[in-house]
């Protein structure tokens, strides 16, 4: 993943790669800590990936950011919300939150810390 990506773009890439079933690129949206555990069964990325892929298979969801809900938690953490949409365009449930942080292990780059699929 290129350097200097804005937190909004990291969040958007997380859902884009999830929908595209591109696990390799999807894992790069995470903090170094989570990237290193991406293939461990039961880790946060493993759970997000399996749940996200089930959502794709069973419901065909797509995700769209809800910018009016963007929140800066502090100088190093941002929270965004993404609305899930069914293939027919109908909204599904409440918007899903995702928290992006500056990762000290990746020279302060913005990366996913916690997400909902």
User: What gap in Å lies between CA 92 and CA 101, rounded to an integer?
Assistant: 26
Nearest to 100 by CA among 69, 64, 76: 76
Q: Can you list the pairs that 70-76 forms with residues at least 24 positions away whose Cβ atoms lie under 8 Å?
A: 70/8, 73/99, 75/102, 76/101, 76/102
Tens digit of each residue's pLDDT (9 = 90 or more) over 29-59? 999 999 999 989 999 999 999 999 999 999 9
Does 35 reside within a domain?
yes
Does 101 reside within a domain?
yes
Share of the chain above pLDDT 70, in %: 100
- Rounded to the nearest 10 degrees, how much is the dihedral formed by the CA atoms of 34, 49, 100, 63? 170
Phi, psi of 58 (to 5 degrees): -85, -30
Does 1 reside within a domain?
no
Range of the domain at 48: 7-115
Tens digit of each residue's pLDDT (9 = 90 or more) over 91-109? 998 999 999 999 999 999 9
pTM of the model: 0.95
- Number of domains present in the structure of the chain: 1
């Amino acid at each position: 993943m290129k350097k200097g990506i804005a937190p909004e773009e990291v969040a958007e890439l997380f859902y884009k790669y999830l929908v595209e079933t591109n696990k390799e690129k999807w894992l790069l949206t995470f903090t170094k800590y989570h990237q290193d555990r991406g293939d461990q069964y039961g880790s946060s990325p493993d759970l997000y990936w399996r749940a996200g892929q089930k959502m794709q298979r069973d419901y065909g969801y797509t995700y769209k950011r809800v910018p009016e809900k963007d929140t800066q938690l502090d100088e190093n953490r941002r929270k965004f919300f993404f609305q899930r949409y069914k293939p027919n365009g109908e909204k599904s449930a409440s918007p899903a939150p995702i928290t992006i942080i500056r990762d000290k292990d990746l020279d302060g780059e913005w990366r996913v810390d916690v997400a909902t699929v």
